[in-house]
Amino acid sequence: MIEHDKNYAYGAWTAPYRTPDGLAMLLDAYGPGFDLLIGRRTYDEWLGYWPNAGDFPMANAINAATKHVVTHRPESLKWGPVKDLGEDFIEELRKLKLTDGPDLVVSGSISLTPLLLNAGLIDEVILIVYPVLLGKGKRILSDSFDARELEFVSTSTTPTGVLLNTYKHLGSLKK
């Protein structure tokens, strides 16, 4: 299990909702071949779990994916394949998006996601909704985040009530 905040009582709250159907939905959403775009904190958290998670589809896909990492400490990246995006990561991502490589999936990375949305570098947003109201925890968007407009594409549901909602990112919300 990925290490959770020790001060948070509900660290493994998603466990009761995990199902084979949910895993299949998530793998389908990631696509048949993908690379990861993650921040350094997510990279470090995942380094503690995924390389030793065992032989199953999600672990195999994540471990095989190139991890494009936004970091100030590239010399310590050891879980590969891995690529440091450099200091001007926004420009590097713009160049990367022009190539014919696999889709880039951003997962976690709560500091990185708002920057990517505001820079217009995210094409699709997948929101996974659990039938739980936590009330506390990390927020993916801060109060200073600019409003964005999304267009509904599709939704899927697991037997435990988890929704996987897919949206096209349209850009800034018009006033």
Q: What is the pLDDT of residue 1?
A: 39
Span 62-78, mean pLDDT? 90
Q: What is the pLDDT of residue 3?
A: 46
Q: What is the pLDDT of residue 14?
A: 81
Query: In whole angstroms, what is the distance from residue 66 CA to residue 96 CA?
Result: 13
Residues 131-173 have pLDDT tens digits of 988 877 777 777 778 889 999 999 999 999 999 999 999 998 9
Q: What is the pLDDT of residue 20?
A: 87
| Contact between residue 161 and residue 18 where contact means Cβ atoms under 8 Å apart | no
Whether the bond between 81 and the residue before it is cis, its omega within 30 degrees of 0, is yes
Burial pattern 39-58, b for ≥16 Cβ within 10 A else e, equals bbebbbbbbeebeeeeeeee
Residues 93-141 have pLDDT tens digits of 999 989 988 889 998 777 888 888 888 999 999 999 999 888 777 777 7
Smallest CA-to-CA distance from 106 within 38, 30, 35 is with 38
Pairing of strands 103-106, 34-39: parallel
Domain parsing of the chain, residue ranges = 15-172
Residues 11-61 have pLDDT tens digits of 778 888 888 888 888 888 888 889 999 989 889 989 989 999 999 888 999
Q: What is the pLDDT of residue 8?
A: 57
Superfamily name with CATH number, domain 15-172: Dihydrofolate Reductase, subunit A (3.40.430.10)
Q: What is the pLDDT of residue 7?
A: 54
Q: What is the pLDDT of residue 6?
A: 54
